[in-house]
Structure 1
Amino acid sequence: MTTGRVENLVTTGRVENLVTTGRVENLVTTGRVENLMTTGRVENLVTTGRVENLVTTGRVENLVTTGRVENLVTTGRVENLMTNCRVENLMTTGRVENLVTTGRVENLMTTGRVENLVTTGRVENLVTTGRVENLVTTGRVENLVTTGRVENLVTTGRVENLMTTGRVENLVTTGRVENLVTTGRVENLMTTGRVENLVTTGRVE
C-alpha cells in the first residue's frame, strides 16, 4: 500500500492487492493482476495473465493483455484496451476508446461515449448514455442499449435488441436484425439478412 506512484514494476509472478492513491505506470508481468485499486491513472499495464478487479478513479491507458479482463471499474476514461481474451464487467463513467479484442465483450456499462470497439467475438449487454461510434465485430451484437446515437455499427453476425433514443446511422450487417427500437431516425441500414421488428417514431431513410 502506498500513497505515491508505482513506476516500472516488472515481474513474472502475479500481482495481488496493489493499493495506491498515486498513478501506476509501466506495470509489466507474465502473471495475473488481481485487486489493483488506485485513485490515480493506470498507464501501460502489460500482462499475459488475466486482469481482475481493477478499480480506479483515474483514467486507464494502454492496458494490453493476452488474458481475460474482469471487473474493470473506473470513473475515468478507458483508452487502448487490447486483449485476445474476453472482457467482462467493464464499468465506467468516462468514455471508452479503442477497445480491441478477439474475445467476447460482456456487460460494458458507461455514461460516456464508446468509440472504436473492435472484436471478433460477440458483444453482449452494452449499456451507455453516450453515443456508440465505430463498433466493428464478426460476432453477434446483443442487448445494445443507449440514449445516444449509434454510428457505424458493422458486423457479420446478427444484431438483436438494439434500443436507443438517438438516431441509428450506418448499420451494416450480413446477419439478421431483430428488435431494433428507437425514437430517432434510422439511416443507411444495410443487411443481407432479414429485418424483424424495427420500431421507430423517427423516419427511416
Structure 2
Amino acid sequence: MTIILVSHDLQLIKAYCNRVIYLKGGTVQFDGDCEAGCELYLRDTTPAVRSPSTEALEVRHDSLAFGNWHGRIQSVVFVGDGAERGHFISGERISLEVSVQLFEPVRCPRLTLVLRDVRGYNLYAVNNSQLGLALVAGDNGLIRVRFSFVADLQDGDYALTLRLDDAISEKVQVLLDKRVGVISFRVESPQKRFDAVVNLHGSIEALLP
C-alpha cells in the first residue's frame, strides 16, 4: 500500500515519508530522499535568503550539500573527549573543528551550526555573528573555527548541519555552501535526569502554604 501525503509541513514529511517529490510551478524539481527534497524546497521558499546562484548540488549516501561554491566547508571533525568513540554522555561538552575555504572575497562570512534529531527537527542553531565573532580569512582564503556546546540531550542519535553564507545583512544572505547532516553522533544517558529531548535546566521549589 502506498500513501501519498501532500503538505508544506517539512517536519511532518520527514517524520512519515521515505520519498518526496518536490513540485515547483507544476514541474518536478526533485524526486528522491526526503531530507534532500525538503532542503531544496526550503532553499527555494525561504524569503530571508537571497541566493540566486545556488544551482550546484551534491547528494551523497550520508549527506546533502548545495551552494554557489564560492566558498566550501572542507572538513568537520570532533575534537577532545568523545571524539574518537563517536558518542557522548548526556551533559558532556562537544567540540568540533571546521575548516572553510573561500575562493573569492566574501564581505561578511557567516558560519552557522544546526543541531538536528533523527527526525530532522532543528533543536539548536547558532552562528559566529550571534556569538560576537567576526570571521577573517587568511591570505590563502582559509578559515578555521571551533564550535563547542553542551550536549544536554536525551538518549538518541543526532546530526549537525553547517551553513556558510555571505551575510550581507540580516535579510540578505548569499548561500556559499550548506552541508546537511555532515557529521552525526550518539548521546547516552546513564541516569535519566529529564524527559523529552533537551534539558532546559528547569527548577522547582516548595513554597509555604
TM-score over 0.5 for the pair: no
- TM-score normalized with structure 2 length: 0.25
Q: Which has the higher helix share?
A: 2
Higher relative strand content: 1
Q: RCO greater where, 1 or 2, for CA within 8 Å and sep 6 or more?
A: 2
Q: What TM-score results when the alignment is normalised by the length of structure 1?
A: 0.25
